[in-house]
C-alpha cells in the first residue's frame, strides 16, 4: 500500500520513548481486532510536546508524565475529557559491568564506588526527574555530580550503559524486562516510595480527523488484553 494512503488511513500516535516497544505490541493487538492501522512516532516526551504545539499531525499523545498532557489540555490542543492515565512507570538500576553481579547495584550506588551513572535529563525527562529524587533520597545526589551523565531520554540513558560509557544506568523497568542482546550482570528495582509516582497519561489531540478511531484506541488501553500487555512490559496500571 502506498505510504500516503497508509498514513491517511492510520492513527498517528506520538509515544514517549520509554513506552515505544509496549506501544508497538498494543498497536499490533488493536489493529488485529479493529483493522485500524497505527503509525507510531517515538521520542522524548518534551520533544513530542514541542512537535505537537508546532503542528505535528498526531492523533494521540502517549506521554511519560502528567505535566505535558495537562499543558496541552490547558492550551486547547486536546479533545475535552480525554486525558487519562494509561500506565505507571518504575525505575531499575542496571549494569552490564562484570565487576558487579546480582543485586550489588544498590550498595555500589549508595557508597559511590563507581565511575559513571547515566540518568535521563531530569529537566526534561520524567524518568530522569524520578532518578534525581531517588538519588537525593539515598543522600547521593550532591556527592556524585561529577559521575552523572545525562541522556536526552530514557532510551539514550540505557544506551550509555549498554555501550560501556556508563557503569550504571537508572532506566525504566520496561527496558529491564525486555530481552536485549546485552545481558545485565546486576539489576535492582527501585522501590516506588523512593521517588514520586511516574504517572503516564494519554490524550487525544484536537487536530485529529479520526476522533472515533482515536477514542476506540484510548478505550482499548483499559481492556484486559491491553492491561496484560502493559503489566507484562514492566508497568503498573491504576484502577
> Is-contact 173 89, C-beta < 8 A?
yes
Please report the pLDDT score of residue 239 as a whole number.
66
Q: What is the bridge-based pairing of β-strands 198-204 and 148-151?
A: unpaired
d(Cα 235, Cα 229) in Å, to the nearest integer? 9
Render pLDDT for 116-134 as a digit per residue (tens, 0 to 9).
999 999 998 889 999 999 9
74 φ, ψ to 5°? -65, -30
Render pLDDT for 103-120 as a digit per residue (tens, 0 to 9).
788 999 988 888 999 999
> Is-contact 140 146, C-beta < 8 A?
no
Q: How large is the average pLDDT for residues 94-109?
A: 88
DSSP for the chain, written as a single string: --HHHHHHHSEEEEEEGGGHHHHHHHHHHHHHHH---EEEEEE-HHHHHHHHHTT---SEEE-SSSHHHHHHHHTT-B-TT--EEEEEE-EEEEE--TT--BTTHHHHHHHT-SS-EEEE-TTT-HHHHHHHHHHHHTT-TTTTGGGEEEESSHHHHHHHHHTTSSSEEEEEHHHHHS--SSPPSEEEEPPGGGS--EEEEEEEBTT-S-HHHHHHHHHHTTSHHHHHHHHHTT-B---
Please report the pLDDT score of residue 5 as a whole number.
38
Handedness of CA 71, 73, 74, 75 (dihedral sign): positive
* pLDDT band at 8; cut points 50, 70, 90: low
Give this prediction's pTM.
0.86
The winner for highest mean pLDDT among 65-79, 113-127, 145-159 is 65-79
213: left (phi over 0), alpha (psi -120 to 50) or beta: alpha
Burial class (CB in 10 A: 0-12, 13-18, 19+), 34: middle
Render pLDDT for 195-221 as a digit per residue (tens, 0 to 9).
999 999 999 999 999 999 999 999 999
Amino acid at each position: 500500500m502506498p505510504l500516503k494512503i497508509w498514513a491517511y488511513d492510520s492513527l498517528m500516535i506520538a509515544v514517549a520513548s520509554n513506552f515505544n516497544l509496549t506501544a508497538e505490541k498494543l498497536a499490533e493487538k488493536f489493529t488485529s481486532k479493529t483493522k485500524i492501522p497505527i503509525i507510531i512516532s517515538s521520542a522524548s516526551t518534551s520533544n513530542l510536546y514541542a512537535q505537537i504545539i508546532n503542528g505535528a499531525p498526531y492523533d494521540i499523545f502517549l506521554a511519560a508524565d502528567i505535566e505535558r498532557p495537562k499543558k496541552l489540555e490547558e492550551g486547547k490542543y486536546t479533545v475535552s475529557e480525554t486525558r487519562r492515565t494509561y500506565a505507571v512507570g518504575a525505575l531499575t538500576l542496571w549494569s552490564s559491568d562484570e565487576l558487579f553481579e546480582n543485586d550489588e547495584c544498590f550498595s555500589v550506588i549508595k557508597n559511590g564506588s563507581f565511575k559513571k551513572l547515566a540518568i535521563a535529563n531530569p529537566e526534561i525527562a520524567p524518568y530522569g526527574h524520578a532518578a534525581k529524587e531517588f538519588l537525593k533520597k539515598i543522600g547521593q545526589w550532591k556527592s556524585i555530580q561529577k559521575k552523572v551523565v545525562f541522556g536526552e531520554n530514557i532510551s539514550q540513558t540505557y544506551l550509555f550503559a549498554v555501550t560501556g560509557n556508563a557503569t550504571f544506568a537508572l532506566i525504566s523497568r520496561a527496558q529491564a524486562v525486555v530481552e536485549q542482546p546485552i545481558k545485565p550482570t546486576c539489576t535492582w528495582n527501585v522501590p516506588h516510595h523512593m521517588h514520586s509516582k511516574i504517572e503516564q497519561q494519554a490524550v487525544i489531540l484536537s487536530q485529529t480527523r479520526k476522533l472515533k478511531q482515536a477514542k476506540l484506541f484510548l478505550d482499548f488501553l483499559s481492556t484486559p488484553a491491553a492491561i496484560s500487555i502493559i503489566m507484562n512490559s514492566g508497568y503498573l496500571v491504576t484502577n
